[in-house]
Structure 1
Amino acid sequence: MFALFMSDNLLIPFIVYLNSAIECRLSPLLEMMWRRNLEIFKCLVKFRNYSYLHNPGSEPLRSLTIGKLLEESAQKYGERTALVSRSQNKRFTYQEALDQADRLAAGFRTLGLNMGDRIGIWAPNIAEWYLTHMACARGGFVLVNINPAYQPMELQACINSVGVKALVCAHKFKDDNYYEHLLKLAPEIQKCQAGRLFSKALPTLETIIVPSDEELSGTFKYDDVVNLASEVEIQNIRNLQNFINPDGVCHLQFTSGTTGVPKSPQQTHFQIVNNSYSIGKRNELDKRHHTLCMLGPFFHAFGTVIVLCSAVNHGATLVLPAPGYDPDKALDAIRDEKCSVILGTPTMYVDIVNRQKIRQENINPEIAVSGGACCSPHLFREMKEILKLKKVKSVYGLTEVTAVAFQSLYDDDEYQSTSTVGYVGDHLEVKVVDEKGHTVPRGTPGELLIRGYSTTLGYWQNEEKTKELIGPDKWLRTGDQFILEENGYGKVVGRLKEMVIRGGENIFPAEVEDFLNTHPGILETHVIGVPHERLGEEVCACVRLRPGHQLTLDDLKLFCKGNLANFKIPSKLKIVESFPKTTSGKIQKYKLINNINKEINLRSKVNLPISD
């Protein structure tokens, strides 16, 4: 009854009917009952105007493991290409992916690893990453995703914080020699037998596996582990599938660290399978066979859930242009592999759009999906025009809700596609609250809270931080300033800690950034608050310029005049060559703020303005 009358086209007429009924001659008892009903339904009308929404979804959730999902896809799409790793010249089908994953999982078991053991993966985008991910799912191991950019001390913190027992790692990538990094932490590796590491610095780590042809002391070669298991042990992996709990933890997905030290939310098979299915469906992967160009890294939730597992759910072909992000190699891949869907972060699209302006490649992708950070409407329009896209789509979420909570729908108009982060995901509840926890009216900014099947079980062995994240009522606090519009679509206006408060006025960085990004000379903008003695904070625009363009603070103020309220117009300008970013492409605003504040302090000592 409640859900029925929450519909706009039924609720208001029913209240009119109740009013007219009361005006008729009724007995005192009937009149009291009608008036009570009228008050209830008036409350429902008022409730409809508040920032709460529950999307029950149109399909039931599935109790399935990632390993069983791969098995299903191998049955449906067996000879279809699952992965293309262009840098390695490797391609394999869904059936080959399943076979290799089972062999690797059996190899892990032969090495002495058991269900529930944590296996770390510390590598860029290579075929072995994909197969290790699937082998862990098939063998009942917990995959620990480690940022390939991490240096020895960061790696040590990750391994020790969750008790990694085995580590699959690349040998070399760019300037990083992963093996030498490991030796700095644990010199015992050089003298130990493979699989028998005893290290003071890494007490839980026993086994290191490296995809390399070189002989590296104390490690197993990846191919040797794949070929280690007997057919009996491989069959045991296949027999194991019905005994792996879909509600069991399968991923420890470290947060990307845009606001400080990463934590490790726990994700289950059930959460990842269902979230990725819904994501893929809204990205139209269910419509036909798509080839996906993946711009970001595997280790991030964007890579594992939004891209990899969505592809497996819907039988899509996943293309890795290069081990790390490279806009030119991405364009090569889109052209050569005829990619129909591109997935990346806004910063990546800025680069690809500008490279395509120069290269003018003959490409015809259909859809671009942007996530990981807010994408400005101006950039979306450039993407459609320059990359010749039919559609652009947004996803919004965070690692703590598996991946995605809001996403574009199939038939969204231009405003919904480019100026919002889409509609709330299936089977999720959301609300927007003020600082006292009260739900705010629709269209009013506040903190977004999420509740549903996809919210993390909690941070690994960190009860204190888990309680800060999720209340006893199971609502998860995102820390994002958010607006829920009348139609249920969402808009991110910034992180709570990033909101600029200038003389008592609240300024949301995203609003100013979106406008500044329309300037013909600006490539990318990020707005921060910097200290001011009288106002508390003032607005500083940090911008990356297009080649050949110049910009002064006076130019910027003139551009803003008449378009932004005076208190929102930046009073400081900083031209930068690049922004501090995570490996997944997110801007680390806390680092940007720290860098700018240090510069302001230095310049204030010699009376120099920050406006260059």
Structure 2
Amino acid sequence: MHSTKPSYIHKIGEQPLKYTTIGQLLQETADKFGERKAVVSVHQNEFLTFFELLQKADKLAAAFKLLNLEKNDRLGIWAPNLLEWYITMMGCARAGLIAVYLNPVFEAPEMVYCINKTQIKALVCADKFKQRDYYESLLTIAPELVNCARGDLQSEKVPSLKTVIRISETNKRGTYNFREILDLANDSEVANVQKFQQCISPDDGCSLHFTSGTTGKPKAALTSHYKMVNNGFFIGKGMDLSRKHHTLCVQVPLFHIFGTDIAIMVALNHASTIVLPTNGYHPSKTLDAIKNEKCTVVYGTPTMYTDLIETQEKRKERISAEIAVIAGAPVTPYLIEQISRNGCKVELLYGLSECTGIVFQSVLTDTKKAPELVEYVQEHFEVKVINESGGVVPFGTAGELCVRGYGNMLGYWEDEEKTNEMLGKDGWLKTGDQFILEEDGSGRVVGRLKDMIIRGGENIFPKEIEEFLVTHPEILEVQVIGTPHKRLGEEVCACVRVKPQANLTLEDIATFCKGKLAYFKIPTKMQIFDYFPRTMSGKIQKFKLKETLSEKNL
């Protein structure tokens, strides 16, 4: 019998929220665990202790002030996973700047948009990454660099940008070198950074994360020190990280909330060591880092774990951590079972940039339990599930998940209209996720509202079909999308990646589904892909799959 109670839960915190800044938290951690490693960059063969991290952050913050950067100015970080990335984030926090986290694979037009959208005044960028030369890319954005004095860029395309700092061993005209900047300030100027901490409020904005921009231009979600500090603390508390020293293998990109909020802020709160296996993503090197650095926790998206398991089978090695943290995309029961075979606990996280990080969290030790179930709402959050009219649906009924709590963003940068669409004056934030909340506090994501397929009047959520199809012995990954149909409106298409030498047909899929899925959920079309287009954070871009199918007239 279904519950008639409204699906609303308020998780009252067992511990009070912290009213502090990221910079003050760094100072506190360095005072207690100064000699402990804060970050190990395997590919750079370098590491920093928390004391060294604080020292370098303060040197950088002092240099920022000498470069005429003032409190609340925006500084962009455009680089892959480097030790300097962590230093720059902390330097911004200690200087009272707002860090703008930029995808390291952004092309010139995307960078122009982001710089102008948030009025970035200074940019810290890498030297090279994959096939990209960042200086050459910058010259297409601001050709004036080659003739300007350092720190005095006057660009027609990006007028707010004045200073460019390169993480490089070489010097280029119009730019500073990162290591040079660290030695720019004298001891007195560095000491003044400590005094300046009292001028920064926990409620001040500190970071801007751009949304994926799958529909329209990306929006920049602004969050505060207070929100990031507390989300990091409670995520780590849920993982019981303070019980002992943990080493976190971070294969996700740092620019994403998975890197900043779920990795860096968790590590800072719980004095954990972050390990960066590579500047990008390489499953084999990640396995090496887990083994050699004795990592106890691994961070990754479902796709990354699929790759790790496949690579591990090829290497015929048994490499496992204590905890596998999964976020960024839906995960299937089959993948949970594979990860758990070596005794690894699975930590499932649900959240979004607009909520600073995580709203639901669970540790799964029983792999028979459906992985979409999350054991509890994060402390100090309220959640409810609503229908199309805004009314709260009963427990156990699907609807849109709404969130209210300390973690909700301050708003989208200079976009009041979009902010008001998502974040109501009553403080409730609409997630856009179709969700079922149970009376015991557990919940599950059914899918994205925009991904729902309507076939002949039947509402179909792709996630259910994907979770079933991935158990087929010849399928590696699957994405289910709706394609146009004259009579039914939409029909179900399975986009699949298959194992080598597999010979999968649509008839095979139909036979596999018969008797297991309702007839209207069984795919009537199939397309095999060698790879799925992904964002830098590992999310599969369904809209690009739809574009490909449209080109093929499917």
- What TM-score does the superposition give when structure 2 sets the normalisation length? 0.98
| Structure 1: runs of 5+ lacking an equivalent | 1-44, 601-609
Of Structure 1 and Structure 2, which has the larger fraction of its residues in helix?
Answer: 1
Structure 2 partner of 1:71: 27
Q: Does residue 226 in structure 1 map to residue 182 in structure 2?
A: yes
2:486 to 508, 512, 533: 533
Structure 2 partner of 1:426: 379
Assess, with a 3 A threshold, how the Cα gap between structure 1 residues 319 and 258 changes in structure 2: closer, same or farther.
Answer: farther
1:544 counterpart SS class: strand
1:566 to 493, 501, 519: 519
| Deviation sequence 1:121-168 (CA, Å, 0-9, x none) | 000000110000000001101100000010000011000000000000
| Deviation sequence 1:319-362 (CA, Å, 0-9, x none) | 00000011111111011111110011111111111001111234
Which letter does structure 2 place at the counterpart of 1:250? C
TM-superposed CA distance for 1:174, in Å, is 0.7
Structure 1 partner of 2:457: 504
| Deviation sequence 1:51-88 (CA, Å, 0-9, x none) | 11110111100101000111111111111111001111
Structure 1 partner of 2:552: 599
CA distance in 2, matches of 1:280, 1:219: 38
Structure 2 partner of 1:307: 263
Assess if the C-alpha contact under 8 Å between 2:3 and 2:396 holds in 1. no
1:195 to 151, 168, 189: 151
Which letter does structure 1 place at the counterpart of 2:350? Y
Q: Does residue 331 in structure 1 map to residue 284 in structure 2?
A: no
Structure 2 partner of 1:18: none
Structure 2 partner of 1:407: 361
1:297 to 239, 249, 253: 253
1:211 to 153, 162, 167: 167
Which letter does structure 1 place at the counterpart of 2:46? K
Assess if the C-alpha contact under 8 Å between 2:234 and 2:379 holds in 1. yes
Q: Where in structure 2 are the equivalents of 1:552-591 lying within 5 Å?
A: 552-591=505-544
1:414 counterpart SS class: coil
| Deviation sequence 1:454-495 (CA, Å, 0-9, x none) | 001110010000010111221101011111123211211111
Assess if the C-alpha contact under 8 Å between 2:10 and 2:380 holds in 1. yes
- What TM-score does the superposition give when structure 1 sets the normalisation length? 0.89
Assess, with a 3 A threshold, how the Cα gap between structure 1 residues 282 and 259 changes in structure 2: closer, same or farther.
Answer: farther
Structure 1 partner of 2:323: 367
Q: Does residue 524 in structure 1 map to residue 477 in structure 2?
A: yes
Structure 1 partner of 2:413: 460
CA distance in 1, matches of 2:398, 2:199: 46
Which letter does structure 1 place at the counterpart of 2:547? N
Which letter does structure 2 place at the counterpart of 1:177? D
Assess if the C-alpha contact under 8 Å between 1:293 and 1:320 holds in 2. yes
CA distance in 2, matches of 1:52, 1:306: 25
| Deviation sequence 1:96-144 (CA, Å, 0-9, x none) | 0001100111111111111111110000000110000000001101100
Which letter does structure 1 place at the counterpart of 2:354? E
TM-superposed CA distance for 1:253, in Å, is 1.1
Structure 1 partner of 2:346: 392
CA distance in 2, matches of 1:550, 1:299: 39
TM-superposed CA distance for 1:190, in Å, is 0.4
2:9 to 49, 53, 56: 53
Percent identity, aligned pairs only, is: 52
Which letter does structure 2 place at the counterpart of 1:368? A
TM-superposed CA distance for 1:547, in Å, is 1.8
CA distance in 2, matches of 1:259, 1:312: 34
Q: Where in structure 2 are the equivalents of 1:427-446 lying within 5 Å?
A: 427-446=380-399
Q: Does residue 111 in structure 1 map to residue 64 in structure 2?
A: no
| Structure 2: runs of 5+ lacking an equivalent | none
CA distance in 1, matches of 2:117, 2:490: 37
Structure 1 partner of 2:58: 102
CA distance in 2, matches of 1:421, 1:572: 32
Assess, with a 3 A threshold, how the Cα gap between structure 1 residues 416 and 59 changes in structure 2: closer, same or farther.
Answer: farther
TM-superposed CA distance for 1:413, in Å, is 3.9
| Deviation sequence 1:1-59 (CA, Å, 0-9, x none) | xxxxxxxxxxxxxxxxxxxxxxxxxxxxxxxxxxxxxxxxxxxx976x32111101111
CA distance in 2, matches of 1:88, 1:417: 40
1:350 to 303, 306, 309: 306
Assess, with a 3 A threshold, how the Cα gap between structure 1 residues 447 and 523 changes in structure 2: closer, same or farther.
Answer: same
Which letter does structure 2 place at the counterpart of 1:86? V
TM-superposed CA distance for 1:414, in Å, is 3.4
TM-superposed CA distance for 1:260, in Å, is 4.5
Aligned pair count? Answer: 553
Assess if the C-alpha contact under 8 Å between 1:301 and 1:403 holds in 2. yes
Assess if the C-alpha contact under 8 Å between 1:102 and 1:234 holds in 2. yes
| Deviation sequence 1:421-456 (CA, Å, 0-9, x none) | 442111001111111111111121111100111001
Q: Does residue 143 in structure 1 map to residue 99 in structure 2?
A: yes
Which letter does structure 2 place at the counterpart of 1:435? E
TM-superposed CA distance for 1:290, in Å, is 0.7
CA distance in 2, matches of 1:261, 1:541: 28
CA distance in 2, matches of 1:408, 1:192: 53
Moved more, 355-364 or 204-213: 355-364
Structure 2 partner of 1:486: 439
CA distance in 1, matches of 2:118, 2:344: 43
Q: Does residue 242 in structure 1 map to residue 195 in structure 2?
A: no
Structure 2 partner of 1:80: 36
Q: CA RMSD in A?
A: 1.4
TM-superposed CA distance for 1:372, in Å, is 0.6
Q: Does residue 450 in structure 1 map to residue 403 in structure 2?
A: yes
Of Structure 1 and Structure 2, which has the larger fraction of its residues in strand?
Answer: 2
Assess if the C-alpha contact under 8 Å between 1:408 and 1:422 holds in 2. yes
CA distance in 2, matches of 1:457, 1:305: 16
TM-superposed CA distance for 1:259, in Å, is 4.3
TM-superposed CA distance for 1:283, in Å, is 2.1
CA distance in 1, matches of 2:548, 2:419: 30
TM-superposed CA distance for 1:515, in Å, is 0.4
Assess if the C-alpha contact under 8 Å between 1:448 and 1:482 holds in 2. yes
CA distance in 2, matches of 1:412, 1:556: 31
1:104 counterpart SS class: helix
TM-superposed CA distance for 1:419, in Å, is 3.3
Assess if the C-alpha contact under 8 Å between 1:258 and 1:587 holds in 2. no
2:116 counterpart SS class: helix
Query: Structure 1 runs of 4+ off > 6 angstroms?
Result: none
Which letter does structure 1 place at the counterpart of 2:530? E
Assess if the C-alpha contact under 8 Å between 2:340 and 2:367 holds in 1. no
